[in-house]
Amino acid sequence: MRNGISQVLLYPLRFEPIYQYRLWGGRRLGDLLTAPLPSGPVGEAWILSDRDDHPSRVNDGPLKGQTVGQLLAQFPQQLLGKLAGRFRRFPLLLKFLDAHEMLSVQVHPSDANKSLLPPGETGKTEAWVVVEASPESSIYAGLKPGTTPDDLRRALTNGTVADRLVCFTPKPGDGVFVPAGTVHALGGDVVAFEIQQNSDVTFSLYDWDHVDAKTGQPRPLQIDQALSCINFAEGGAAGRVTPVVETTRPVERERLFHCEHFCLWRLRGQSPFTVGTAGVPRILVCIEGAGQVEHLGVNYAVGKGDVLLLPAVVGECTFRPHGAVTLLQIAVPD
């Protein structure tokens, strides 16, 4: 079988979501994704993950059952093209979030915080694209200007942390950039797509007095670690972004995020348009509508909530919408 797999030419790869229990989660991911939800509050669906504890597996075609890590080991050039050799694992982790309640007020370390990173981990810059929100939804992203470490410690002591954070009411379509070192939280029935470095390092400052129903206890905080990696001089990098319209026909193409770790565009249209790029991988995430990717005479169906990894060897493809469609297209910078 392995000899047979080694002869396979990579094709557009689809993955099943990996659902995660979170005490702040809800049930709304069941409306976005076709895979049935497990019982209880579901806060995250990992839709592309090269993590040892939760690896994404191909769910159709000759490579069904293979993990992203196995593909990277067997087909580095086919999968990553000119990026091959740069990464020991796929460098991005993609999720959908359902924040029914508030996430903890938290921060992620940067690549420069070496002493705070477990072996093999990187920093964690991330970004969100809001899919659903309500009038009660809130996003916190960044400290109010002038906030010092002493200010924040006092706020933790007297329970006024939220007063020190920049807060806004999100609406569907908002893009929010959260560089490593940014204090952040979201909740109040926010459903969002999340893109991040492939890291699972989070330090919590404050947890809104939540009690975990599974343990009957508050969740642990990591206040000292969080304070040591906060960027108190972030300079306004965090928060809502202004999309940059790059093209309008045959598809409206907006650039939402462009940083050293990832680039993300939103594509909206009803007529056929090109996706993918020769020599490098691209990832498609369908936010609204449906259609199909055409590659070497084969059609790959794409529906709401689906993620499709286009390996570098696939190159450019045609996407044919079935009516109006909204896709996110993601790149790892060269």
Residues 253, 246: Cα–Cα separation, whole Å = 6
Q: Could you tell me which of 116, 223, 224 has the C-alpha nearest to residue 180?
A: 116
For the domain covering 2-240, report its CATH number.
2.60.120.10
Q: Could you tell me which of 130, 135, 147 has the C-alpha nearest to residue 288?
A: 130
> Average pLDDT in the 99-118 region?
95
- The model's pLDDT over 294-322, given as tens digits with 9 standing for 90+, comes to 999 999 999 999 999 999 999 999 999 99
- The model's pLDDT over 214-256, given as tens digits with 9 standing for 90+, comes to 888 998 999 999 999 999 987 678 999 999 999 999 999 999 9
For 177-196, b/e burial (b = at least 16 CB within 10 A) is bbbbbbbbbbbbbbbbbbbb
Q: Do domains 2-240 and 244-331 have the same CATH topology?
A: yes
Judged against a pLDDT cut of 90, whether residue 172 lies above it is answered with: yes
pLDDT at 5: 65
Judged against a pLDDT cut of 90, whether residue 204 lies above it is answered with: yes
Q: Could you tell me which of 156, 158, 162 has the C-alpha nearest to residue 140?
A: 162
**pTM of the shown model:** 0.95
Alpha helices in 184-249 (DSSP H): 223-229
Q: In sequence order, which residues have a C-beta less than 8 Å from that of residue 285 and are 6 or more positions away?
A: 47, 94, 193, 306, 307, 327, 328, 330
Question: What's CA 147's distance to the chain center, in Å?
Answer: 28
Domain boundaries, the chain: 2-240, 244-331
pLDDT at 235: 67
Judged against a pLDDT cut of 60, whether residue 3 lies above it is answered with: no
Judged against a pLDDT cut of 90, whether residue 195 lies above it is answered with: yes
Tokens found for residue 4: 């047979």
- The model's pLDDT over 30-39, given as tens digits with 9 standing for 90+, comes to 999 999 999 9
The domain made up of 244-331 has a fold known as Jelly Rolls (2.60.120)
Residues 128, 192: Cα–Cα separation, whole Å = 6
Mean pLDDT of the chain: 95
> Average pLDDT in the 166-187 region?
98
pLDDT at 315: 97
- The model's pLDDT over 252-300, given as tens digits with 9 standing for 90+, comes to 999 999 999 999 999 999 999 999 999 999 999 999 999 999 999 999 9
Judged against a pLDDT cut of 70, whether residue 1 lies above it is answered with: no
pLDDT at 212: 85
Q: Could you tell me which of 264, 261, 275 has the C-alpha nearest to residue 241?
A: 264
Q: In sequence order, which residues have a C-beta less than 8 Å from that of residue 152 and are 6 or more positions away?
A: 143, 161, 164, 205, 227, 230
Cβ atoms of residues 108 and 126 within 8 Å: yes
